[in-house]
Amino acid sequence: MVMNQDLTAALNLLPHGPGFRFLDRLLSLERGQSGVGEYAMRGNEPFLRGHFPGQPMMPGALLVEAAAQLAGVVAQSDPEIPPMPALKLTAIRGAKILGTAKPGEIIRLQARVLGRMGNLVQAEGTASVNGRTVLQVELTLGGEPPPLT
């Protein structure tokens, strides 16, 4: 398990800017294998203005993005494999959006790396709110091969 300051450093591996980061903090990280994180729905996110007026909720596509961001942090933290430049979500399989999150709720994310092949990472992710699963998804992340040293 990784110490607190290392969790913050791992979170900084995300290339996303503040307006498109759906991972506020890491709760645990088993480098290169699995991780648990959280995103707090604040209620002031720009996408909530239109999704949906009077009944704001996290779009399912952004739940998938949040799971992919956590999977990316897990993959990029592998002590045996250097981080890949430009790692991004390249495929989604078996996505089940079973619910959503509303302002004031905390989304708990879990991701596990299932395997790697070259510059591709296979992972699975889940999201839950108040102990209720709202997302299950299989992800493929792809990046440029790490620079040769």
Of the candidate CATH numbers 3.30.450.20, 3.30.56.10, 3.10.129.10, 3.30.70.100, the domain formed by 4-142 belongs to: 3.10.129.10
Residues sharing a CB contact under 8 Å with residue 122, sequence separation 6 or more, in sequence order = 113, 114, 115, 116, 138, 139, 140
Residues catalogued as catalytic = 51
> What does pTM read for this prediction?
0.92
The predicted structure's pLDDT at residue 13: 75
The predicted structure's pLDDT at residue 8: 77
Return the structure tokens found at 3. 């110490």
User: In Å, how far from its chain's centre is CA 36?
Assistant: 9
The predicted structure's pLDDT at residue 72: 96
Phi, psi torsion values for 9, nearest 5 degrees: -60, -40
Cβ–Cβ < 8 Å for 134, 102: no
Residues sharing a CB contact under 8 Å with residue 127, sequence separation 6 or more, in sequence order = 63, 66, 67, 101, 107, 108, 109, 110, 133, 134, 135
Q: Which of 6, 22, 26, 36 is nearest to 89 (CA)?
A: 22
The predicted structure's pLDDT at residue 16: 81
Cβ–Cβ < 8 Å for 67, 112: no
Which residue, chain included where needed, has tokens 């089940």? 96
The predicted structure's pLDDT at residue 14: 79
The predicted structure's pLDDT at residue 147: 65
Q: What is the pLDDT along the chain (149 residues), one digit of tens a residue?
A: 555 667 778 777 778 887 899 999 999 999 999 999 999 999 999 999 898 889 999 999 999 999 999 999 999 999 999 998 899 999 999 999 999 999 999 999 999 999 999 999 999 999 999 999 999 999 999 998 766 76
Cβ–Cβ < 8 Å for 55, 10: no
The predicted structure's pLDDT at residue 124: 98
The predicted structure's pLDDT at residue 5: 62
Environment class of 101 (CB within 10 Å of its CB; exposed 0-12, middle 13-18, buried 19+): buried
